Amino acid sequence: MIESGGRHDGDSRQISRGKITIQDLADHLGLSKGTVSRALSNYPDIAKSTQERVAKGAADLGYTPSSHARALKTGLVKSVGLVLNVAGENVHKPFLSDFLDGISRRLGEDEWTLAVATARSDEHALDVHARLIAEKKVDGFILPRTKIHDKRVELLKEKEVPFVLYGRVENISGCAWYDIAGERAMKNAVSRLAGFGHRRIGFVGGALDSNFEKLRRSGYLEGMEANDLRVDPALIVEDAMSIDSGFRAGMALLSQSNPPTAIVCALDRAALGVYRAAESFGLFVGRDISVIGYDGIPEGGYAHPPLTTFSVDSRVAGARLADIFIQVIQGSDAEYFRELEEARLLERQSDGPLTKSPEEISAIVAEHTELSHGRIK
């Protein structure tokens, strides 16, 4: 073992006023620069007492190794990339704050950092991933909002860059992933509404190329089958990722001659849009029609009435994704990590027993529409 030696701590030269360097730390401790470097990296040939002494000296002086120097030594910059596509309807917004907090806190426990970048489109997102790889800014990525066929996954596999998915893809070979069972939530939502006596249950889905949409739609269909309910294609509207598109979906469903008495939404934001559509037709959510959402965004709790939804703990999800990434980067088999958690039902006032038939709902919509046209004239 290499023991500490040389000058005593108090004999070090005066520390420069700028950023503390490893040479400053070595001089402060009376050790060689090489010994300090190896002690900071926990090399086994450095005595434990020396490692502890160096760690204390570094803390006292406020010394932190540069990411560049660390990368030269270990090949890692200890940074995880997260690229957010902020174009159009910002699907990241509802969960982003808690999600980032969960990731950052877990990474911080192992002295890793999170590098967040934004992109203007799917193609631009690929370019941003490629740039961060080429510039060695990150050691790998967390990929949220996965698509059925995800070009980001193809790129990272080709470049042999570690990653973990928040979600699933069609081809999961070589992928580590963590996801919430949205399909089971949708199935449970249908069963809940069927238990209330609803027979015509509509579905408002998300973006067609998103894997979560494929899964949640399949859950809705499974729920209909499990409860012996006929699936009417006219009651399925997709590509609703925002309040505005949810409003349009709600208008399309409720204006039908044989409308649904209840609607399951793949996203809370779409559900809040359905609220607006119902109100525009003179219908009261929770009394005339039932609505169930998914995500558990705060806005749902403040809606009138509060939205029944399946809640996702984004902070827990972020922390677990960070934990999985660290294990993968340390050599664990990516395919070992295939984790599916349950969403939690938040029972509120937007759903309940069947009170109006499709014919009665249609009559209310027709009357309100006629009155509205009369007022416009």
Q: What is the 3-state secondary structure (H, E, C) of 238-299?
A: CCCCCHHHHHHHHHHHHCCCCCCCEEEECCHHHHHHHHHHHHHCCCCECCCEEEEEEECCHH
79 contacts 142 by C-beta, under 8 angstroms: no
296 contacts 309 by C-beta, under 8 angstroms: yes
Segment 321-372, tens digit of pLDDT: 999 999 999 899 999 999 999 999 999 999 999 999 999 999 999 999 887 7
368 contacts 281 by C-beta, under 8 angstroms: yes
| Residues 251 and 138 placed together within one structural domain of the fold | no
CATH, residue 27: 1.10.260.40
Residue 2 lies in a domain: no
The Cα 240–Cα 252 span in angstroms is 12
Residue 31 lies in a domain: yes
Low-confidence residues in the chain, pLDDT < 70: 1-18, 41-44, 65-74, 88-94, 373-377
| Residues 52 and 83 placed together within one structural domain of the fold | no
Q: CB within 8 A of 56, min separation 6: which ones? A: none
Q: Which of 19, 61, 18 is nearest to 40 (CA)?
A: 61
Helix (H) or strand (E) holding 113: strand 113-119
| Residues 56 and 87 placed together within one structural domain of the fold | no
Strand 262-265 with 344-346, pairing? unpaired
| Residues 244 and 366 placed together within one structural domain of the fold | yes
Residue 4 lies in a domain: no
The Cα 240–Cα 232 span in angstroms is 18
CATH, residue 100: 3.40.50.2300
Residue 195 lies in a domain: yes
As a whole number of Å, the CA-based R_g of the chain is 28
Walk across the sheet containing 140-143 and list its strands.
113-119, 79-85, 140-143, 163-166, 176-180, 338-341
| Residues 153 and 127 placed together within one structural domain of the fold | yes
| Residues 338 and 367 placed together within one structural domain of the fold | no
Q: Could you tell me where the beta strands, DSSP code E, fall in 10-96?
A: 79-85
Residue 71 lies in a domain: no
Kindly report whether the peptide bond that precedes residue 233 is cis, defined as omega within 30 degrees of 0: no
pLDDT at 45: 72
Residue 73 lies in a domain: no
Walk across the sheet containing 344-346 and list its strands.
236-237, 201-204, 262-265, 290-295, 308-311, 344-346
Residue 364 lies in a domain: yes
| Residues 219 and 363 placed together within one structural domain of the fold | yes
Look up residue 156 and give its amino acid. Answer: L
42 contacts 75 by C-beta, under 8 angstroms: no
The Cα 198–Cα 191 span in angstroms is 9
| Residues 111 and 227 placed together within one structural domain of the fold | no
Domain that holds residue 88: 79-181+315-343
| Residues 334 and 227 placed together within one structural domain of the fold | no
| Residue 117, token pair as written in the block | 């970048």
Q: How many domains is the chain built from?
A: 3
Helix (H, G, I), strand (E, B) or coil at 177: strand
| Residues 208 and 90 placed together within one structural domain of the fold | no
Strand 236-237 with 201-204, pairing? parallel
pLDDT at 18: 57
Q: What crossing angle do the helices spanning 22-29 and 48-61 adopt, rounded to 10°?
A: 120
Q: CB within 8 A of 160, min separation 6: which ones? A: none
| Residues 276 and 214 placed together within one structural domain of the fold | yes
Segment 28-79, tens digit of pLDDT: 899 987 787 777 766 667 888 888 898 888 888 887 765 545 554 557 899 9
| Residues 107 and 152 placed together within one structural domain of the fold | yes
Residue 74 lies in a domain: no
In eight-state DSSP terms, residue 151 is H
